Structure 1
Amino acid sequence: MKYTLIFSFSVVAALPLVIFFYPGVSIPWKQLTGSIGTDTATVERQLHTAAGFHVELFAGDLPNARWLAVTRRGDLLVSQPKHGRVSLLTADGDGDGRADGQRVLIDDLTRPHGLFLYEDWLYIAESDSVGRVAFDHSDGRLAGSYRKIVTDLADSGNHWTKTIAMGPDGRVYLTAGSSCNVCVEEDPRRAAMMRFRPDGSNFEIFASGLRNAVGFDWSPKDGALYATDNGRDWLGDDFPPCELNRVEKGGFYGWPYANGDRVPDPDFGVDAGREVQRKIANSIPPVHNFPAHNAPLGITFLRSPTQPADYRDAALVALHGSWNRSVKDGYKVVSLHWDEQGNIRREDFLWGFLGEDRKEVHG
């Protein structure tokens, strides 16, 4: 029986794909995106995996695919924000390793990005709202009308995507990035993590100072909430680092006043007044740094007990890759491994999205 991790890639790779490990069960992993035209030959020629894993193309005609969720029947839901829709890929029933079919599940949405399934509901994070609709897992159909439960979210400027997930406390968690490279936001819901009840009530700011925390997940080992975060641009090739933060309720994580481990920002932190200095001193530093401009997005912890010992409770993180850098870097998936003292080791897990000419692989 195959152990299956499902990825989708856009900026790094331009292909949705499936990674197999034997034996085990199927779980989803969320992020990055897909494009059209990727072929099996390109996947086999260009992409490389950590020992014990193998990569195969699952579906190649999903332009701008972003976030994934797997139904109880094994069908795959995929958000496509630039097309305003969520599509459904039918599970591989004939054993050829490819999706058996594809259809639009719901459309006419406003740049849908994050999504998840909870009980008999499909939750979707549009750029300006969060909605939900009853979902029938048995046949992969909507079983009611789509209704927005959180509205009036700001989606102007640089980072319009919204990511959502159901937390272990039964609350829906939502992240929204900043409207700019670096600025003081007027709307406290930007550059922040929020949470609310499944019906949209009791909306609150959970943490702030997170410039663009696209991905987050809870560790199966200690229950801690970890979120990736993209560092700001235009401070050189190697600063500031991108971040992995352990997110706590009420925590402030530095942006826009500080970068990395409380390093004052040259625009908003250096020579700042006493109040800003206090904010910097009280900010929570990252627990792990990624190289500058690698832009970590999706993160998922591996939960199956059949994982290889070294991957048990490890996390996979997708690195979007760098645009604001003289030499491209990132464009891969890495694994994070915690030791007993809480130290984090990073290793390459899936790579090959940049060719020898440093151009992105698009099949």
Structure 2
Amino acid sequence: MIKQTALAVAASALMAASSIAATQPTSDEALERMRSFQPTGQSLDMATVPQTGEVADAIRRNLERVRLPEGFSIDLYAVVPDARHMAIGPSSGVVFVGTRKTDMWAVTDRTKNRVADEVKRFAPAISFTQPGPCFSQDGFMFVAEHNRVLVFPAAEFFFEGPDVAVDIVVPSGELIPREEESFNHGARVCRIGPDNQLYISLGQPYNVQPREKLKLYEDLGIGGIVRMQRDGSEREVYARGVRNSVGITFNPTTRELWFTDNQVDGMGDDIPPGEINHAPRPGMHFGMPWYGGGTTRTNEYRNDDPPEGLTFPVVETVAHAADLGLTFYTGRQFPEAYRGGLFSTQRGSWNRTTPVGARVMFTPFEADGSGPSGETIPFAEGWLDDETGEYYGRIVDVLQLPDGSLLVSDDTAGAIYRISYNGSRD
């Protein structure tokens, strides 16, 4: 009798759990509900990421390896699983963080002591695909996914709960044709330009794209940067000949676009170089697939005459370091030499005999923002052990906090770091 009662209770509990699960909407259903300001049924008791314990302690110990210029220091800002590209809410300072998976994170420093108090999943009912966030100045957060673009009005207000106001800018399957979806070079980054338009980079999925794909990719901006109105209309190809850019930004002085690009693999340790490019106007072509990085010709198109009017990179970086996120420094905390300059990241190599990268780089700029005034040099490094070749972190993005310090994301350690300056400003 007791055994039968226990079985009945267990069966009842299982049926109840199944009933609850059945009422939970799919990701697409949840999206449609939130577009209509309807609840999704998600629990208000939202899961958070622990900010203390063994993981945080280990990350802090690893930061002791990092070398910085005199007067600078680096600290753990937040433990954020798979942290990649970041966007800071203009009114709240909340840091929204994308990943190469299905999650987005909201990172909050409620006490303003420059250490995160809370890290929790953003819009947990939505299953993202490699989300990359960016903000407009009026507080709209756009999220560029592999093949969809969403917008979250008032994300800084709604992030506290599981349901958020959302709309679709580019429907699923319309950013690129479905048949061109790929696990390779699928991460997207976005920015709202000074013209109030949305810019999105679209990496092409091949090492070097085949000839039969050339026209399609040129027409659609795959292997390039596209721009559109904030509602998704009036799409155009802004830049072509870009292999796989995972970092775009605008110079605040000139209001012109700069971006990194990752070069062709398999040509040797030291070629082709990585790139930092300047695109001050639409319609420019940056050389791919005729050039695999800098002025290095690709093997596949070596005997072809390249188009006229190609633009080569302003800065060539060490080969295969994987240059990613970048931002111009507009703060006042750092010494004068850094103001107006460009900070950029190198995630680190995977196909090089001697590994390189896993660091933050700095390029000084002319006061008028027209271009570099000196060489690109390491600013923060040490995540790569030069003797063993072991990586203690992989650096993805860099962003400036309102106080003038820098945030740096690491998708391997699962962390965001904060770099600050406490030395002399003479």
**TM-score (normalised: structure 1):** 0.81
Deviations 1:275-325 (A, max 9, x none): xx241x421011110111011000100012454111011011100111111
Q: Pairwise mapping of residues 203-352 of structure 1 onto structure 2 (< 5 A)? A: 203-247=235-279, 248-268=281-301, 270-272=302-304, 277-279=305-307, 281-339=308-366, 342-343=371-372, 344-352=374-382
Change (3 A) 1:351 1:235: same
Residue deviations 1:98-151 (CA, integer Å, cap 9, x gap): 311122121333323321222242211111111112225356447854222113
Distance in 2 separating the partners of 1:59 and 1:222: 33
Which letter does structure 2 place at the counterpart of 1:182?
Answer: V
Alignment of 1:32-47 (within 5 A): 37-39=55-57, 40-47=59-66
The one-letter code of the counterpart of 2:154 is: F
What's the secondary structure of 1:115's corresponding residue? strand
Superposition deviation, residue 223 in structure 1: 2.5
Work out whether residues 158 and 164 of structure 2, in 8 Å CA contact, stay in contact via their aligned partners in 1: no
How far 1:221 moved relative to its partner?
3.1
Q: Between Structure 1 and Structure 2, which shows a larger proportion of helix residues?
A: 2
Partner of 1:100: 117
The higher relative CO (CA closer than 8 Å, separation ≥ 6) is in: 2
Residue 53 of structure 1 deviates from its aligned partner by: 1.7
Instruction: Output the CA distance in 2 between the equivalents of 1:65 and 1:261.
Output: 29
Task: Determine if contact 1:66/1:113 at 8 Å carries over to the other structure.
Answer: no
Please tell me the residue identity of whatever aligns with 2:326: I
Aligned counterpart in structure 2 of residue 360 of structure 1, from 391, 394, 410: 391
AA aligned to 1:231 is Q
Q: Within 5 A, what are the aligned runs for 1:76-91?
A: 76-82=95-101, 84-91=102-109
Moved over 6 A (4+): none
Give the aligned length: 319
Amino acid at match of 1:284: T
- RMSD over aligned Cα, in angstroms? 2.2
Please give the secondary structure, in 2, of the residue aligned with 1:137: helix
1:163 equivalenced with 2:185 (yes/no): no
Q: 2:144 maps to which residue?
A: 125
- Between structure 1 and structure 2, the one with the greater Rg is 2
Structure 2 distance, partners of 1:158, 1:94, is 38
The C-alpha deviation readout for 1:85-105, integer Å capped at 9, x for no partner, is 22112214073x431112212
CA distance in 2: counterparts of 1:166 and 1:318, whole angstroms: 20
Question: Conserved in 2, the CA contact under 8 Å of 1:211 and 1:255?
Answer: yes
Query: Could you report, residue by residue, the CA deviation over 1:173-220 in whole angstroms, capped at 9, with x for unpaired residues?
Result: 000111110014333331110001111111111010000111011122
Letter in 2 for 1:308: P
Q: What secondary structure is seen at the aligned counterpart in 2 of 1:48? A: coil
Confirm or deny: 8 A CA contact 1:228 1:245 kept in the other structure. yes
1:207-263 deviation per Cα after TM superposition (whole angstroms, max 9, x unaligned): 100001110111223222111000000100001111111113100100011134444
The alignment-based identity, stated in percent, is: 26
Whose strand fraction is larger, Structure 1's or Structure 2's?
1
Letter in 2 for 1:73: S
Residue 172 of structure 1 is matched in structure 2 by: 198
Show the counterpart of 1:153. 175
